[in-house]
């Protein structure tokens, strides 16, 4: 038995492709699963981008409507933060008195927004907000201008909430977390 010299190896056929064909279906299955996962991720990302674009469009629409309503006068627009509202119309001889001590700190808001604006220069900003980075920059700049000119608090707060929502949508990033933390110091 220790001598294998008399074995004729030419009678044996060893075809490795036949044994390898059982590995290929597993590899094909793995590749298919990976493609499906990538497609799902792309779909989720596209849906998020569409949602953020719609939020920005609605924000701009609301800001324009509020500005127009303010210019025309005699128009009442009640937003989602309706604190301290009294409405009285066509009430002869009626009086109302309301003490509202809630004030918006424009200086604090400007300080926070300028700090957030510094994040724009970091390379991670583009990575965090991807295609929405320009929209986020525009919201930051427009809100800074609104705060500097002490525009209506409702408009400023709405812009700050949209900025916060966009940062929440881009979670998992230090930039987004920083923006959320800074905005958390303001009454929205």
Tens of pLDDT along the chain (188 residues)? 556 667 776 676 666 555 555 556 777 788 888 899 999 888 888 888 888 888 888 888 888 877 776 676 655 656 555 566 777 666 777 777 776 666 788 999 999 999 999 988 888 888 888 888 898 999 999 999 999 999 888 889 999 999 998 888 886 778 888 888 888 888 87
CA angle at residue 139 from 138 to 141, to 5 degrees?
65
Confirm whether pTM is higher than 0.85.
no
Total residue count of the chain as it appears in this document: 188
Measure the CA–CA gap between 146 and 18, rounded to whole angstroms: 72
Measure the CA–CA gap between 115 and 25, rounded to whole angstroms: 54
Q: What are 95's two structure tokens?
A: 């009086």
């Amino acid at each position: 038995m220790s001598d294998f010299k008399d074995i004729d190896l030419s009678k044996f056929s060893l075809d490795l492709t036949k044994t390898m064909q059982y590995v290929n279906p597993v590899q094909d299955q793995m590749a298919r699963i990976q493609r499906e996962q990538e497609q799902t991720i792309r779909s989720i990302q596209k849906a998020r981008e569409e949602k953020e674009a719609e939020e920005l469009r609605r924000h701009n629409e609301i800001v324009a409507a509020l500005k127009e309503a303010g210019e025309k006068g005699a128009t009442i627009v009640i937003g989602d933060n309706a604190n301290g509202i009294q409405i009285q119309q066509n009430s002869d001889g009626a009086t109302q008195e309301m003490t509202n001590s809630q004030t918006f700190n424009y200086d604090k808001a400007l300080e926070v927004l300028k700090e957030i604006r510094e994040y724009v220069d970091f390379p991670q900003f583009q990575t965090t907000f991807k295609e929405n980075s320009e929209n986020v920059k525009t919201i930051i700049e427009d809100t800074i201008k609104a705060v500097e000119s002490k525009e209506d608090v409702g408009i400023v707060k709405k812009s700050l909430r949209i900025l916060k929502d966009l940062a929440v949508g881009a979670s998992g990033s230090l930039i987004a977390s920083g923006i959320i933390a800074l905005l958390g110091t303001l009454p929205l």
